[in-house]
């Protein structure tokens, strides 16, 4: 017995139809919409990780608050843009993604500098126990992916 029958009715797989047979808006989504959804979900996951790391350090530098606050905002605007394709949301998402690129680059500088300030300088152990040098680069990469999705449209 199949739990999710995959039979086609009117060109739409049966699994993608609702109870009453109407389309659930997943069929025909363009790639940019899916990428924006992925970027939004990635930002909330990255934000949780960043919050844990910065909380562990007691937010000793004011710049630590920037990704903690901006990540959930990126998530909300991205989710809204995914489901409500409005021009003002696209412009807001575009601006936020450029801010995310700048924030990530500043964070990369601060994290790499923070590794060098630890006892022993640029030793491998400081990269392992110090500030995560690649996490701000992930923030930048997700922002760039969001920009690619917006400019792709």
Per-residue pLDDT of 112-142, as tens digits, reads 999 999 889 999 999 999 899 999 999 999 9
Q: What average pLDDT score do residues 93-107 get?
A: 97
Q: For residue 30, how many other CB atoms are within 10 A of its CB?
A: 12
Mean pLDDT of the chain: 86
Based on DSSP, count helices (H) and strands (E) in the chain, helices before strands: 5, 2
Q: Return d(Cα 118, Cα 123) in angstroms, integer.
A: 9
Q: Return d(Cα 2, Cα 72) in angstroms, integer.
A: 39
pLDDT at res. 25: 55
**Residue 49 pLDDT > 70:** yes
Residue identified by tokens 């936020």 is: 96
**21-35, 65-79, 95-109: lowest mean pLDDT where?**
21-35
CB-neighbour burial class of residue 72 (10 A; exposed 0-12, middle 13-18, buried 19+): middle
| Torsions phi, psi for 23 (to 5 deg) | -70, 140
**Residue 89 pLDDT > 90:** yes
**Residue 10 pLDDT > 70:** no
**19-23, 26-30, 61-65: lowest mean pLDDT where?**
19-23
Q: How confident is the model at residue 27 (pLDDT cuts 50, 70, 90)?
A: low
12 sits in which H/E element: strand 12-13
């Amino acid at each position: 017995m199949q739990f999710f029958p995959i039979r086609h009715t009117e060109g739409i797989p049966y699994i993608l139809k609702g109870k009453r047979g109407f389309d659930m808006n997943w069929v025909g989504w363009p790639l940019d919409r899916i990428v924006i959804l992925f970027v939004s979900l990635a930002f909330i996951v990255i934000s949780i990780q960043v919050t844990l790391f910065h909380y562990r350090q007691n937010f000793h530098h004011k710049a630590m608050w920037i990704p903690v606050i901006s990540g959930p905002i990126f998530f909300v605007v991205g989710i809204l843009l995914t489901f409500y394709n409005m021009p003002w949301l696209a412009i807001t998402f575009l601006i936020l993604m450029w801010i995310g690129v700048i924030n990530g680059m500043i964070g990369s500088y601060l994290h790499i500098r923070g590794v060098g300030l630890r006892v022993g300088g640029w030793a491998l152990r400081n990269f392992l126990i110090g500030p995560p040098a690649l996490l701000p680069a992930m923030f930048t990469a997700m922002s760039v992916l969001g920009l690619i999705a917006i400019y792709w449209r």
